[in-house]
Amino acid sequence: MAAVQETVDRVRRIDVDQYRYGFETLIESDKAPKGLSEDTVRFISAKKNEPAWMLEWRLEAYRRWLTMTEPKWARVDYPTIDYQDLYYYSAPKPKKTIGSLDEIDPEILETYKKLGIPLREVEVLEGVVRPEGERRIAVDAVFDSVSVATTFQKELKQAGVIFMPISEAIREHPELVRKYLGTVVPTSDNYFATLNSAVFSDGSFVYVPPGVRCPMELSTYFRINERNTGQFERTLIIADKGAYVSYLEGCTAPQRDENQLHAAVVELVTHDDAEIKYSTVQNWYPGNSEGKGGIYNFVTKRGDCRGNNSKISWTQVETGSAITWKYPSCILRGDNSRGEFYSIAISNGHQQVDSGTKMIHLGKNTTSRIISKGIAAGVSQNTYRGLVTAHRKATGARNFTACDSLLIGDKCGAHTVPYIEAKNSSALFEHEATTSKISEDVLFYCVQRGLSQEEAVGLVVNGFVKDVLQQLPMEFAVEAQKLISISLEGSVG
């Protein structure tokens, strides 16, 4: 039939033009010399005016990294990365010292405007029609290696919340940074995390003091702009006793033929009765129809429920990147602590996703919940890899896992690799998994009722991921829903 042929053709055309964020901003930048050595590490540290202990910390990580080898166990395939062929630091050249938002390079402001990220507080405040109940959002914008703007600083300060670029926090709150940095993801953790520890340039730092409920959503927006530049951001979020914070990160990059490396580390710490909700909408450039270009996304994200009755919840919508290697995890150390992982991972074209989570039950009566929705289209490969363990002392540990995969077309693959280990006989772990193909009959039903083929796929997929979308902050749920439809455009054949 003609209709089928047409959609098959469309699949072949899945191309860069569908990526809405592929533009490049032309600005002057200040770069470290290409390649990685102790000098590069010293250069970055000096650029950031870091104290000696920070430099030592980085150098130790660098030396460690030299002894390590790149992990190969994930179900992803990519050419060897030449770590000497990358720039490890790139900062937009400031026209002068930035004192307020007005002094930011207009090109950069324009970039964020194009991306739909409000950096001007006034715009946010004066937004003409604000739906009732919509919360305001404080944004930290990271452009290549540096943070260019953080909004709502004053208001957050009043609440006692620290939200600033980590480079600033190292200088202004060294006692906090020293106390927590590397305690969840140690410098020796894994190849990419160790690399990050040596060369990270910026990222966000959040500290919510005891008993404080952060008055607004916090958000960091990462943009890789410079060519051949790796982005190594580091995020550290601490919720002290009884505190609560909801944090969202978004990511985009220009379209380029070469692959770019993104190796981030995120550490979360919750003390007694505290809660962190961490949401990600990841939309790095995925590469073109031949699988050329795109971001290599090797990320280590881990939360430590250090206190009793604390909670960490990860929600992720992964639609971008050529390769995703990412397992946001929870260490459930405190008694009665709870970890959650809600994930939508969509792969199309030549994308490869190997993502999942680890729930490590150490404390008593700890609970965790994993809801993973993988959607594979085109010739992509989509793997869920998860680990649920109960330590000897984790009496009463409970986990519920549901992994659902949806296949669109017949050239993609979905894989589920769950590891379950219980060393305590009272642990109760449940695992459910399904794999299904998007059914021709369902699509025909929808188009018979007037939906276009693409609207039909979008509708069915949004139904499939509904449980997870509901976990996102409301403003982003709508955005994510649109993103899902865009990512799957032309994927039916």
Partner 1 sequence: MSLLEVKNLQVRVEEREILHGLSLTVNPGEIHAIMGPNGSGKSTLSHVIAGKPGYEVTGGEILFKGENLLEMSPDQRSAKGVFLAFQYPVEIPGVATMTFLRTALNAQRKARGESEFSTPDFLKKVRRVAASLNIPQDMLRRGVNVGFSGGEKKRNEVLQMALFEPSLCILDEMDSGLDIDALRVAADGVNALRSPDRAMVVITHYQRLLNYIVPDFVHVMSKGKVVKSGGKELALELETSGYAQFEDAA
Q: Does 387 bind partner 1 (CB under 8 A)?
A: no
Tokens 């709870």 sit at which residue?
Answer: 338
Query: Rule CB under 8 A: is residue 452 a binding residue for partner 1?
Result: yes
Q: Left (φ > 0), alpha (ψ -120 to 50) or beta: where does 293 sit?
A: left
Distance CA(420)–CA(255), nearest Å, equals 39
Q: Is 345 in the site for partner 1 (CB under 8 A)?
A: no
Q: Does the footprint of partner 1 cover residue 439 (CB under 8 A)? A: yes
**Phi, psi dihedrals of residue 403, rounded to the nearest 5°:** -115, 115
Residue 53 touching partner 1 (CB under 8 A): no
Binding status of residue 446 toward partner 1 by CB under 8 A = yes
Candidate ranges 1-9, 126-134, 233-241, 324-332; the one touching partner 1 (CB under 8 A): 1-9
Three-state DSSP class for 186?
Answer: coil
Q: Is 421 in the site for partner 1 (CB under 8 A)?
A: no
Amino acid identity of 181? L
Give the residue carrying structure tokens 């919940």: 369
> Could you give phi then psi for residue 440, rounded to 5 degrees?
-60, -35
Is 317:480 a contact under the CB 8 Å cutoff? Answer: yes
466 binds partner 1 (CB under 8 A): yes
Per CB under 8 A, which region of 57-65, 94-102, 175-183, 461-469 contacts partner 1? 461-469
434 binds partner 1 (CB under 8 A): no
> Element (H or E) spanning 410, and its range?
none
Residue 407 engages partner 1 in binding (rule: CB under 8 A): no
> Closest Cα partner for 29 from 105, 113, 99, 139?
105
Residue 443 CA to residue 126 CA, distance in Å, equals: 43
Binding to partner 1 (CB under 8 A) within 208-267 occurs at none
Binding segment (CB under 8 A) for partner 1, from list 24-32, 172-180, 192-200, 451-459:
451-459
Dihedral of CA 443/444/448/450: which sign? positive
Quick one: which of 465, 472, 477, 488 contacts partner 1 (CB under 8 A)? 465
16 vs 488, beta carbon nearer partner 1: 488
81 binds partner 1 (CB under 8 A): no
* 322 close to 351: Cβ distance less than 8 angstroms: yes
Rule CB under 8 A: say whether 459 interacts with partner 1. Answer: yes
Residue 445 near partner 1 by CB under 8 A = yes
Asked whether position 295 contacts partner 1 by CB under 8 A, the answer is: no
Distance of alpha carbon 266 from alpha carbon 279, whole angstroms: 12
Q: Which is nearer to partner 1, 71 or 463 (CB)?
A: 463
Q: Binding partner 1 by CB under 8 A: which of 1, 52, 128, 129?
A: 1
Candidate ranges 154-162, 241-249, 319-327, 441-449; the one touching partner 1 (CB under 8 A): 441-449
| Nearest-approach distance from CB 442 to partner 1, in angstroms | 5
CB 439 → partner 1: shortest distance, Å?
Answer: 7
DSSP codes, 93-125: PPSS---SGGGS-HHHHHHHHHTT----HHHHH
489 binds partner 1 (CB under 8 A): no
440-448 vs 453-464: helix crossing angle, rounded to 10: 120
Q: Which residues are near partner 1 by CB under 8 A?
A: 1, 3-4, 439-442, 444-453, 455, 459-460, 462-467
